[in-house]
Amino acid sequence: MKRAAFARINLAHLKNNLAAIRKLANKSKVMAVVKADAYGHGMLEVCNSLIDADAFSVAYVNEALELRENGIKQPILALQGFSSSDDLQNAIKHDIQVVIYHTEQLKLLKSISNTANLDVFVKIDTGMHRLGFAPQEFESIFTELKSFLSPKSKIRLMTHLACADEVDNVATQRQLEQFELAIKDISCEQSIANSAGILAWPQSRRDWVRPGLVLYGINPMQKEITSPVELRPVMSLHAPLISIKSCKKGEKVGYGGDFCCPSDMVIGVIAIGYADGYPRHLASTPYVSIGAKKAPIVGRVSMDMIAVDLSSISTRVGEIVELWGETVLVSEVAQHAETISYELLCAAGNSVYKEYIQ
C-alpha cells in the first residue's frame, strides 16, 4: 500500500446491484461491463464475484485474454473487436466474442482460413456516429459476413445509445427506430441498452443488456431522476486526517491562497489529492464525510492533500474520512468537478489500494 488513501470495494453491494438489474430487465440476459478494470473496481475481483452474470464485456481482446487466463468461463465480448490478425487469432483461440463495426475487419476475417465458431456482434450506427455500420449498408454486410463465417458462429446485432441518460431527449427514440429499419426482418439476438437504457428506456432492453455504471451502484441519469431499482455504491474512497489546526480570520489556506478564512476556523488536512484520482478542478464545493457529519473542502486540491473546514465537527488526527461512498455520492463530487462519476471511479480506482469486503 503505497498511498494513504484507499478504496473499499463492497462485493455484496455489487451482487445486489446485479440482482436488482436482473429483476428489472427480467427478459434479458445480463452482460456485465467490466472494461477499464471494472470502472476502477478491479476486473478480476468483480468478475469472480459476479458468478451470476451471463457474460462479461471489456473494451479490448487483451482484457478478455486476462480474464480467460484467470479462469473466467462465461462468454466474454470485446467491444472494440479486433483490428489486427493477432487479436483475431487470439479471439478465436480463446473463445472471445468480438464486435464487428468496420469493413477492415471483414477483410481480416476473410484472410483467415478457419474462423472456427467465432461469435460476433455486428454493430449498427444508429446515431452515435462512433462505431458501427450505417443502417443502409447493414444488410449487405450481414449477408457477406454470413457467407464466410462458419454456420456454427452466432451472429448477434447491437447498437449503442448516445443520450439515454436524458429522459426527454428524442434522440433515443430515433436510434431505436433506426435500429428497426436497419435490421428489417433479420432475426438474431439483439443488444441495445447500457445502464441508462436499462433504467429509463424499457424498449431498449432486448435479448442482452449491457450494464456498466449501475452495476457499480451509481445512477447515470441526469437531472436527478431516481432509479427504479435500489442501487448501492460499490466503491467508497477513504483517507486519513493527518493534521488539525486553528486559523485566524483573514488567514489563507492552500496553494495560491485561494481560500481566505471568513472567521476564525479549524482546518483539517486529509492525505488524498489529485495523484489519488480526487479531482483537482472544482467549480463548486464538495463535502467529505467524517463520522456522520459533512465537512466542506476549502482551498485548492493538492497532489496528495486537501483541506477541509472542521469548525463544526469534533474529530481527531488519524480519523478515516470518506471522500465518496454512501454519504457523499460520487455523482455529487462529479457535479462539483464538472465531470462524470465514470471518470472519478476510474481515476481513483486505478490510483489507490483497493480493499475488498464481501
Nearest C-alpha neighbor of 299 from the set 251, 255, 250, 240:
255
Which span (140-148, 168-176, 208-216, 271-279) binds ligand PLP, by CB under 6 A? Answer: 208-216
The reply on whether position 161 binds ligand PLP by CB under 6 A is: no
- Is 28 a residue that touches ligand PLP (CB under 6 A)? no
Q: Which long-range contacts (CB under 8 A, 24 or more apart) does 85-94 make?
A: 85/111, 85/112, 87/61, 87/62, 88/112, 90/61, 90/65, 91/61, 91/64, 91/118, 92/116, 92/118, 94/64, 94/65, 94/68
Residues 214-233 that bind ligand PLP (CB under 6 A): 220
75 in contact with ligand PLP (CB under 6 A): no
Q: Single out the segment in contact with ligand PLP by CB under 6 A; choices: 69-77, 209-217, 224-232, 290-298.
A: 209-217
Nearer to ligand PLP, 221 or 290 (CB): 221
Quote the least distance from Cβ 49 to ligand PLP, whole Å. 18
Which range in 70-78, 204-212, 228-236, 283-291 contacts ligand PLP by CB under 6 A? 204-212
How far apart are alpha carbons 331 and 344 in whole angstroms?
Answer: 9
Q: Give, as ranges, the residues between 30 and 59 that touch ligand PLP (CB under 6 A).
A: 33, 35
Is there binding between residue 210 and ligand PLP (CB under 6 A)?
A: yes
Residue 199 interacts with ligand PLP (CB under 6 A)? no
Binding mask 109-148 for ligand PLP (x = CB under 6 A): ----------------------------------------
- Respond yes or no: is residue 101 known to be catalytic: no
> Smallest gap, in angstroms, from Cβ of residue 9 to ligand PLP?
17
Determine contact, residues 330/344, Cβ cutoff 8 Å: yes
Q: Which is nearer to ligand PLP, 5 or 347 (CB)?
A: 347
Q: Is 278 a catalytic residue?
A: no
The whole-angstrom separation of Cα 329 and Cα 138 is 42
Q: Which is nearer to ligand PLP, 33 or 239 (CB)?
A: 33
Per-residue CA distances from 26 to 18, 44, 207 (Å): 12, 26, 10
Q: How far is it, in rounded angstroms, from Cα 218 to Cα 195?
A: 9
Beta carbon of residue 111, minimum distance to ligand PLP (angstroms, whole number): 26
Binding segment toward ligand PLP, per CB under 6 A, in 83-91, 206-214, 308-316, 325-333? 206-214
User: Catalytic amino acids?
Assistant: 35, 255
